[in-house]
A and B are shown apart, each in its own frame.
Chain A
C-alpha cells in the first residue's frame, strides 16, 4: 500500500487493523484511536482521497490503495497545510487528540466543497467527536481553512488527494 506517497510492504497479519498498522508498524502515530468502533473519528485518514475510519478497516484491505495521514499534509519544516494553519489560528484544538481526525475530515470536506455552507461544515465534521473545544472554534477553523486554501495552491484544492503523487 502507498502511504503519504511512499510504498510500504504488505501487512501479513490478516487481523491487524489499519489504524494499528499505521501507528505501530509504520510509526505514523498522528492517526489516533479514540474508540476502535467507528464513532469518534480520531482515526480518520484519506483512503484514495476520501475520509475513512482506519479503525474499521483491516490493513490488508488497504493493499493496492493510497492512504494519506496527517503526517503527509506538510513535511517537517514546511509551513502548515491550510487546514492545519486554520486550526491553529482559530484555537481549534486543545488536547490535540481528536485533531488529526478532524483535520483529515476537513481536508476531505474541502476537497468536495471548497466553499462549504454552514450546513456542509456541520455535516462535514459531524462524524468527529471532540471533548475539549465545544466545536465552536472548529467550525470557525473550517471557515478559515476554506479561505486560506483558496489563497494557497495545494493538493487540498481537491484534485484528488492521494492520486498521482
Chain B
C-alpha cells in the first residue's frame, strides 16, 4: 500500500450539500407521500410530584387532534425503560417509564403525547391536558441528595444509586508518612451539550411491507433499531433506522430511549400515517440529558519536591432522577483523575446520587473535565504550597515515555482496567510552554495550564462494508452516524489508500441500518479507532480479492500485484494491469450482460481458470464486510496553556492566548482534528465561564433558553494555536487514537488556574462568571 490520503488535509466531501441548504436533517424528512402528522409532549412542570389524575378529554376533542396518549394507552406503558449499562455496583438503578403516570421526578418528564395535523395544533392540545399534580419535596444538588432528608425514589435509601470504592497501593500508610498533606474540595456544576439541532424523530409504518422506517437524530441508529425490534416484536430486518444529517451530538444523542423514540414509531404504527416529533429548545434543556454535576473531597500527600505520594478522592455524582446510562460517568472520573501523572497510591470512592433533575449521561468529555480539574487544581495547590513553578510540578510527576504500557490498576468503562498504551507527556508540556511564550505585560493576567489523558476508542466493535462497483467507483458504509466529524471524508481517505483510488471516487454512507445494520454508535471518541480500522479491514479484504481475481487474468502471483491509480497491476510495471472496474465485473460471473462492461463476465468469454465460475468459498462481487474490535482503549493525551486577563472592575474575561498540543496517535486528517479541538475548546470556555444551568431549590431550571444560557458567540472564543505530536497506538493497525472529546477536557482547569493567578483568589469550582469572581474577590 502506498499511503497517499491518510494524514493529508483533505477537504471535506460532505460540505457541498450542506452549504447549498440541501442537507437532510430529521425535521427535513418528507417521504412516502403523506405529510407526517406532528406531535408534542406534555411535560411535568414540577420537579417532583405525585400524579393524581390526567384528563385528556378536552385535548382529544380539539379539531385537528388525531390522538392523545397517556401511559395506560401504551402496551409498554408500565415497562421501565432499560438500564443501558448494568453494573454490579449499581444496586439501586432506576429508569423512567415512557410516560409517567404515578410520580414525576424531574421538571420536563413526559406525561402525555399529542398527535395532530400540525405542531401548532398539537401544542394547543397539550395545553388542554389537565394533570392534577400533588407536589412532593424536591431534592436538588448532590449535597442535598447525599444528606437524604428527602428521597427521590421511595425505595432507594439515602438516594444512593451506586457506590464504588477502589484502591491501588496503600493510601493510608503512604498518606501517613507523606512529608506534606493537604485537603481540598472541588465542585463542578451541571452542564448541557446543546447541539444546535435539538432532537427529532420521524417514523412511518408500511403495512403492505410490514416495515418500520425511522429517522432519528441519534448517535446510535443500530441500537435504536435493536430496541424497536424487541419492543414491537419485529425481526430486525423489518426495522430501518437512519440517522441522516445530525446537527451536532456531543453525547446526549447517544442516550436511548428518550420517550419520543418509542412514541413516534408507536403512533405511526397505530395511526397508519407518518408521524414526526421535533423538539423545541426549551424542551431540549429540560428533557435531554445533562452531565458534569460532581462534588469532590480530595486528600493528597506529597514530598518536598512536589511529587504526589498518595491521593484520595471521594466524590458524589449527581445522577439526576434516573440512571438509564448506569454509572459510566463516575467510573470514568474515578479512572481519569490521575491523568498523565504517576500516583503510586490512589484511592477513589464515589456515590452516585439521585436528584430531582434531568438525568445524566455523557456530554463531550464525559467525567473527564471534572477529573482533570481535580488533579490539575491539586497540582497547582502543591506548587503554591511549596513555592514551585507549576510546570515544574507537572514535570516531576509525569509518567515517562519509557513506562508504557502503564497499568493504572483501576476499572475502565469497557470492563478492563486502565492501561495506557502509549504517549509522551513531558513532550506535550514542553511544546505547550514553548508555544505559550513569555507572559504579556500588564496587571491581572494569569497563566493557566492543564494536561490530560483520554481513554478513547472503546469497543465492543464496529464494522464496514466496502464495494467496488463495475464503474470503478467505490461505495463504503458503516453503522455509526456522523454529527459533523467528517466521517464521509476520513473513511474515504482510509479506503482510497487501501484500494489505490481517488478520495473523490469513494462514497460513504454512515448511520443508515439499510446500508450497514451492525455496530454500536458514535460516542466516547471512538469512531476513528473503531469504524476507521473496520474500514481499513474491509477495504484490505477487497484489495486482496481484487489481487486474486486479477492474478488469474494477468497470470501473475497475487503477492506481486498492487492497487494503484484505479488499477491492479504488477508491482513496478504499471502497464501490466487491469482496471479495478474490470476486476469488479469479473468478480461477479453473470449469465446476462447488463451493461457496464459486464459482457466480460458472461459464459462464452474466455475464462482464465477451469472449474465452476464461483469456486468453493468464493463470493460474488468485489466487496467485503470487515469488523474491528479493539482489545482495549487507546489513550490520547494533550496539554493546554493560556494567558487570561480579568478586568478587576467588571470581571470580564479575555483570553489573550490559548495553546493546545495534542496527541491522538496517527492523524488521518489534520483539518478535521483541528476542527474537533477548536470546537472542544470553545465548548470548554463556554462551560468554564458563561454557561450555567440555573436550577432553583424547587428544581426549576430558570434559564432554559439561549437567551439566558449563555453559549459563546464568536466574540467570546479566542483564536487557538494548535500543534500535534504523534505517538501511534500499538493497539490498532492504523495507529490512531480518538480526538472528538479532547478539546474540552482541560479547559476548566486551565481557565481556573489562570484566573486564580490573575485575581489572587482561590478557584475550586466550575463554572465561573463575572458575578462569581466578584463574589469571590469580596469574600
Contact = CB atoms under 8 A, between A and B. Distances in A.
B706 A97 contact: no
A27 interface: yes
Contacts of B30: 27
Interface in A13-60: 13, 15-16, 23, 27-37, 39-40, 42
A131 B672 CA distance: 15
Interface string B17-47: 0111111110110100000000000000000
B586 to A, nearest CB: 35
Contacts of A32: 25, 196-197, 247
A21 to B, nearest CB: 12
B679 A134 contact: yes
Nearest to A125: B714
A134 B706 contact: no
B11 A133 contact: no
A30 B20 contact: yes
A94 B486 CA distance: 7
B197 A126 contact: no
Contacts of A129: 196, 706, 711, 713
Contacts of B486: 94
B483 interface: yes
Interface in B1-29: 11-12, 14-16, 18-25, 27-28
Interface string A119-136: 000100111111111111
B682 interface: yes
A128 B716 CA distance: 12
Interface string B100-140: 00000000000000000000100000000000000000000
A69 B720 CA distance: 32
A96 B671 CA distance: 16
Contact of B675 (A33, A98, A137): A137
A29 B25 contact: yes
Given A15-B120, A30-B20, A84-B19, A136 B281 contact: no
Nearest to A124: B714
Contacts of A94: 248, 484-486, 675, 679
A80 B675 CA distance: 22
A39 B705 contact: yes
B719 interface: yes
Nearest to B711: A129
A65 interface: no
Given A76-B20, A131-B679, A34 B280 contact: no
Q: Of residues B19, B194, B484, B486, which shows the largest number of chain A Cβ atoms within 10 Å of its Cβ?
A: B19
Contacts of B16: 80, 88
A71 B281 CA distance: 25
A93 B196 contact: no
A29 B245 CA distance: 12
Which size bracket describes the interface of A in this complex? Answer: 35 or more
A39 B706 contact: yes
B683 interface: yes
A79 B484 CA distance: 23
Interface string B342-363: 0000000000000000000000
A32 B247 CA distance: 10
Given A96-B484, A129-B713, A131-B196, A31 B248 contact: no
B15 A93 contact: yes
B707 interface: yes
B550 interface: no
Contacts of B720: 134, 136
Contact of B483 (A37, A84, A95, A103): A95
A95 B18 CA distance: 8
B162 interface: no
A132 B715 CA distance: 15
A97 B714 contact: no
Interface string A74-106: 101000100010011101011111111001000
A89 B711 contact: no
A95 B714 contact: no
A99 B245 CA distance: 13
A113 interface: no
A94 B249 CA distance: 11
Contacts, number: 172
Contacts of A28: 21
B281 A36 contact: yes
A37 B19 contact: no
B81 interface: no
Interface string A125-154: 111111111111111000000000000000
Contacts of B247: 32, 34, 95-98
Interface in B698-718: 705-707, 711, 713-715, 717
A111 interface: no
Nearest to A139: B714
A70 interface: yes
B681 interface: yes
Contacts of B245: 95-97
B145 interface: no
B756 to A, nearest CB: 24
A67 to B, nearest CB: 13
Interface in B152-200: 193-198
B512 interface: no
B300 interface: no
Contacts of B197: 32, 34, 95, 97
Contacts of A99: 18-19
Given A35-B705, A134-B682, A71 B196 contact: no
Contacts of B713: 125-129, 135
Contacts of A91: 11-12, 671-672, 674-675
A134 B720 CA distance: 9
A93 B250 CA distance: 15
A42 B11 contact: no
Contacts of A130: 196
Nearest to B195: A131
A131 B683 contact: yes
A103 B19 contact: yes
Contacts of B327: none
Contacts of A88: 11-12, 15-16, 19
Contacts of A35: 281, 705-706
Contacts of A70: 19-21
Contacts of A133: 675, 678-679, 682
Q: Of residues A23, A73, A97, A137, which shows the largest number of chain B Cβ atoms within 10 Å of its Cβ?
A: A97
B508 interface: no
Interface in B645-691: 671-672, 674-675, 678-683
B246 interface: yes
A76 B715 CA distance: 34
Contacts of A36: 280-281
A30 B24 CA distance: 9
Given A40-B706, A95-B246, A131 B20 contact: no
A28 B719 CA distance: 34
Contacts of A132: 196, 248, 484, 675, 679
A97 B21 CA distance: 9
A15 B119 CA distance: 12
Nearest to B193: A131
A152 to B, nearest CB: 15
B482 to A, nearest CB: 8
A29 B484 CA distance: 18
Contact of A96 (B14, B681, B683, B714): B14
A55 B9 CA distance: 37
Given A13-B120, A97-B248, 14 more contacts: A15-B120, A23-B28, A30-B23, A33-B27, A40-B196, A87-B19, A91-B12, A93-B484, A94-B484, A94-B485, A94-B679, A96-B19, A96-B484, A128-B713
5 contacts: A34-B196, A71-B22, A80-B20, A94-B485, A132-B248
Interface of A: 13, 15-16, 23, 27-37, 39-40, 42, 69-71, 73-74, 76, 80, 84, 87-89, 91, 93-100, 103, 122, 125-139
Shortest beta-carbon contacts, A-B, top 3: A30-B21, A97-B247, A95-B484
